[in-house]
Amino acid sequence: MSMYRGNGEKGFTLVEVMVSLMIFLITSMGLLPLLISNLQVNYGNSLHTQAQRLAGEVMAELQVLDYAGLAMVADEPLLIAGVEIQQQIEANLPQLDQSRITVTANWQQRGQSHRYQLQTIRSAP
């Protein structure tokens, strides 16, 4: 592709510009699947991080709650931004005057079920 023509005109011809655009278009189309899979992975990581944060917040609330108040915590799941949070309190487990607290975050992504779980044991004061 010559920038200088013998008849005194400078620049690219329309055919040269169209060929360049077609090469760019074909190259860009090859990179499109990579971009789409990158977006899906980022979205999945975002959901996982959000589930971890929500489960951690619920667990922190249950840990600072009065021990006697643990028995009154509802077992109904919470749905927050596409993540279902379930809290389960098992009294007198693993020993007498102890409670096992389990917080589970469940979410769906691309037809697959994912889960993140936290568990701790609290003793009666």
Over residues 37-92, the pLDDT tens digits come to 999 999 999 999 999 999 999 999 999 999 888 888 888 999 998 899 999 999 99
Name 103's bridge partners.
87, 118
Close Cβ partners of 68 (under 8 Å, ≥ 6 residues apart): none
The domain ranges of the chain are 14-123
In which element (H, E) is residue 120 found? Answer: strand 112-123
Q: What is the pTM of this model?
A: 0.74
